[in-house]
Amino acid sequence: MIPSVMAKLKIGVLGSGKGSNFRAILSEIEAGRLDAEPVIVMADVEGAGILDLARGAGIPAHVIREPRFCTKLSPEIETDVVRRLRDAGVELVVLAGYMRMVKQPLLEAFPRRVINIHPSLLPAFPGLEAWSQALAAGVEKSGCTVHFVDAGMDTGEIIAQAEVPVLPGDTPALLHARIQIEEHRIYPAVVARFAAGDLP
Q: What are phi and psi of 171, to 5 degrees?
A: -110, 165
Q: What is the pLDDT of residue 200?
A: 77
Q: Write out the residue range of the structural domain in which residue 86 sits.
A: 9-195
Task: Give domain status of residue 3, yes or no.
Answer: no
CA distance 5 to 183: 30
In 2-28, which positions are buried (b, 16+ CB within 10 angstroms) versus exposed (e)?
A: eeeeeeebbbbbbbbbebbbbbbbbeb
What's the length of the chain?
Answer: 200
CATH number at residue 180: 3.40.50.170
Task: Give domain status of residue 4, yes or no.
Answer: no
CA distance 199 to 189: 12
Is pTM, for the whole model, over 0.85?
yes
Q: What is the pLDDT of residue 32?
A: 94
Q: What is the pLDDT of residue 30?
A: 95
Q: What is the pLDDT of residue 199?
A: 86
Task: Give domain status of residue 109, yes or no.
Answer: yes
The domain tally of the chain equals 1
Q: What are phi and psi of 147, to 5 degrees?
A: -145, 155
Task: Give domain status of residue 22, yes or no.
Answer: yes
Q: Which residues contact 162 (CB under 8 A, 6 or more apart)?
A: 143, 144, 182, 183, 185, 186
Q: What is the pLDDT of residue 111?
A: 96
Dihedral class, residue 54 (left if φ above 0, else alpha if ψ from -120 to 50, else beta): alpha
Q: Is the peptide bond before 119 cis (omega within 30 degrees of 0)?
A: no
User: Which mean pLDDT values do the consecutive 10-residue runs of the chain (200 residues) have?
Assistant: 68 97 97 96 96 97 94 95 98 97 96 98 96 97 98 96 97 98 98 92
Please return the burial class of 66, using the count of CB atoms within 10 Å of its CB with bins 0-12, 13-18 and 19+: middle
Task: Give domain status of residue 1, yes or no.
Answer: no
Q: Give the distance, in angstroms, between the CA of residue 80 and the centroid of all CA atoms in the same chain.
A: 19
Catalytic residues, which ones? 118
Task: Give domain status of residue 116, yes or no.
Answer: yes
